[in-house]
Chain A
Amino acid sequence: MKRLAANTMSLKLGEPGAHAGALMNSAEELVARVRAGEEEAFRLIFDRYSRPVLGFIFDMVSERSLAEDLTQETFVRAYRGFDSLREEARLSTWLFAIAKNVAREHLRSRRRDAFNVAIDGDESFELHDKKPSPAGQLLDKELNGVIQRALARLDEDKRLVFTLKVLQQRSYEEIAEITGFSVGKLKTDLHRARAEMRRRIGPYLGGEQ
């Protein structure tokens, strides 16, 4: 399924016309141009997808600077592995799959580091949990922090599925393709992730959940 998003992602308000040409290029055309050795076409792909990919990786690793490094790694791998892209129309899904691999590899290596047990442990995210705020007074800024902390506490599979579905609005089919999970597993993980998130952010939303 070709996503319309792919044709609109590269709109850049601040640079009128600078990369507007990207809109005129379908994913298939861009892929063909990259395969023909046109680096500018890869730049257009980067412009189009770097923001959602960066957001996705950030949600997975919870660290801005690291997310930028891993986004760079994602696009470098994509460029070098362009031949492995079979369905050109699924460029976006393919990029997210690479991003997922890059993020998971990092998380796996981090898990080997004993110190991160403490970093990722529940203790790190209890700062505000004891003080629910009235929903009407919750600033977006604080909400962002609450969601980020709650996301970071999900286990990796749940975080992956939740991020792709709820935050990136991907379909089950695409998530299955990106993650390699069965649809059954991703439904279960998504349901549990939503429940956990609800439990963690609920106190900030009026305490009804």
Chain B
Amino acid sequence: MRCEDYLPLIEEYFDGEADERIAEQIGAHLATCADCAAVLDALSFEQEIYARYDRGLEVSPSLWSGVSAEINGGAQPRPDTTRQSFLSRLRNIVAASLAAFTLRPALVSSLALLVVSVAVGSVWLAHRHAPAGVAVATANKQQNVVATPSPTNQVQPVETGGGGESKIISDVAVAGPGPIAEAEVKRGVPRASSKPVEVETLVPDDPQKAIDYKPQLGALTKGTVNISADDHAGPDNPVEIADVNYRPDDAESAPMLDPAQKEFARHVEQTQMLLRSIKNARASDEGTVNVSYERKLSRRLLAENATLRLDAETRGDKGSKQMLDQIEPFLLDIANMSDNASREEVHSVKERMKRNEIIAALQVY
């Protein structure tokens, strides 16, 4: 077969959906064809990007309340009157009004311009009356930002009644102009019965207490095809765009998870990245796969895994322990590979990962 024949199959190969015979042929072709290998690399790179996609969603307790009420015959609406709900309602009202017209582009444009003007004016007026030094922070990556100046200048966490992806926001100083006008400090891990903190406010500068906090974010650079867990979560990889002054005093007063839980979540995330890296690894011309980085990472995670498992056992957290038990054999296998593992060696691990669907298990965690 020629490249034109292989190209449509590379996605299937990447998705792990090509049948074994075809997969072997594609693997052999990729080892000798730089153009097709580049297509596979691009897919790996994209998957890395999509793996970082965070909708910022949490399942709020009210969601179950709504389901429970309905299945018990109550049919009560969820008591969730968020700003977005209001916007949705507003949009529906506007939509209904506009439906009466024939939606001529000029009319729609004019109305849109009017709405935007009013919105911009309102925002300008609001900011004009706000005290100097107000820093707006958002608690949810996708939600609208609401700034609520507080007379006491204290962080006002929303009581969630169960925790959740606690996001403790402190005063924010955005260094320089850019597309991001907000910064956030994310703390904790998801829990089901949670409601995201929606509003944060300004806090007074206290240079004695404030510590510099750099959001953990890896650089998105082409060429980092193998996912580096350190890129995602390591403190060695700060972003230089914004500085956030994180105040431990505020954090203590806000709902957040204990360090062990955060450590566990980070461990799970890094393991997921490691396994993805192995999943996307491909053999060189010599039929070997350079997994030296993955081995090193795996050894570190393996040691961490043992510690966390012991900790989970001590705390009686059966769920976490079970997850760590599932992870360990994969970490062991990767740690025991040679730096230049044979294609078969890697294939065997990939097969078990696929069979056990371990990546999916970690992803939905």
A positions within 8 Å CB-CB of B:
3-5, 7-17, 19-20, 23-24, 39, 42-43, 46-47, 50-52, 54-55, 58-59, 63-69, 71-72, 75-76, 79-80, 113-119, 128, 131, 133, 135-145, 147-148, 165-167, 169, 171-172, 187, 190-191, 194, 197-198, 201, 204-206, 208-209
Cβ–Cβ contact A135 & B221, under 8 A? yes
Q: Is the CB of B49 within 8 A of A13?
A: no
Whether A4 pairs with B64 at a CB distance below 8 angstroms is no
Candidates B91, B241, B364; contact of A139 at CB < 8 Å: B241
CA distance A113 to B103 in the complex (A): 11
Contact B357 A68 (CB under 8 A): no
Contact B217 A140 (CB under 8 A): yes
* B323→A11 contact, CB < 8 A: yes
B15 with A64: CB separation less than 8 A:
no
CB pair A79 B360 closer than 8 Å: no
Question: Would B55 and A72 count as touching, CB distance under 8 A?
Answer: no
Q: Which 9 A-B pairs have the closest CB atoms?
A: A115-B95, A14-B191, A14-B163, A11-B319, A20-B319, A65-B84, A136-B219, A5-B360, A4-B357
A4-B356, A169-B360 in contact; A54/B57 too (CB < 8 A)? yes
**Interface residue? B192 (CB, 8 A):** yes
Known: A24-B318, A135-B219. 11 other contacts (CB 8 A): A5-B360, A5-B364, A8-B323, A13-B320, A15-B162, A23-B318, A71-B63, A118-B103, A136-B221, A144-B141, A206-B221
Separation in Å of the A48 CB from the closest CB of chain B? 9
Q: Is the CB of B261 within 8 A of A14?
A: yes
Residues of A within 8 A of B318 (CB): 17, 20, 23-24
- Least distance between A65 CB and chain B CB atoms (Å): 4
Could you pull out 9 A-B pairs where Cβ atoms are within 8 angstroms? A5-B357, A51-B57, A115-B91, A118-B112, A131-B179, A136-B220, A169-B360, A205-B49, A209-B42
B residues whose Cβ falls under 8 Å from a Cβ of A: 8, 11-12, 15, 17, 42-43, 45-47, 49-50, 52-57, 59-60, 63-64, 66-68, 70-72, 78, 80, 82, 84-85, 88, 91, 94-96, 98-99, 103, 108, 112, 141-143, 162-164, 178-180, 182, 184, 188-194, 215, 217, 219-222, 239-242, 257, 261, 264-265, 315-320, 322-323, 326, 356-361, 363-365
Are A55 and B55 in touch, CB under 8 angstroms? yes
Tally inter-chain residue pairs, CB-CB below 8 A. 235
Q: Which residues of B contact A187 (CB under 8 A)?
A: 11-12
Complex Cα distance, B258 from A13, in Å, reads 10
Most buried by B among A14, A131, A208: A14
B44: min CB distance to chain A, Å = 12
**Neighbour of A51 across the interface among B59, B315, B356, CB < 8 A:** B59
Would A72 and B52 be within 8 Å (CB), given that A11-B319, A139-B241, A141-B180 are in contact? no
In the bound complex, residues from chain B placing their C-beta under 8 Å from that of A16 are 315-317, 319-320
> Which B-chain residue is minimally distant from A151 (CB atoms)?
B53
A116 nearest in chain B by CB position: B95
The 8 Å CB contact of B189, one of A7, A13, A139, is A13
A39: which B residues are within 8 A, CB to CB? 68, 71-72
Chain A residue nearest to B261 in the complex (CB): A13
Task: Tell me the minimal C-beta distance from B175 to chain A in angstroms.
Answer: 12
Contacts of B103 in A (CB 8 A): 114-115, 117-118
The verdict on A13 contacting B179 (CB below 8 Å), with A5-B357, A113-B95, A115-B94 known, is: no
Q: Which residues of A contact B192 (CB under 8 A)?
A: 10, 12, 15, 19, 47, 50-51
| The residue from A4, A12, A209 contacting B361, defined by CB atoms under 8 A apart | A4
Of A5, A20, A79, A147, the most chain B CB neighbours within 10 A belong to A5
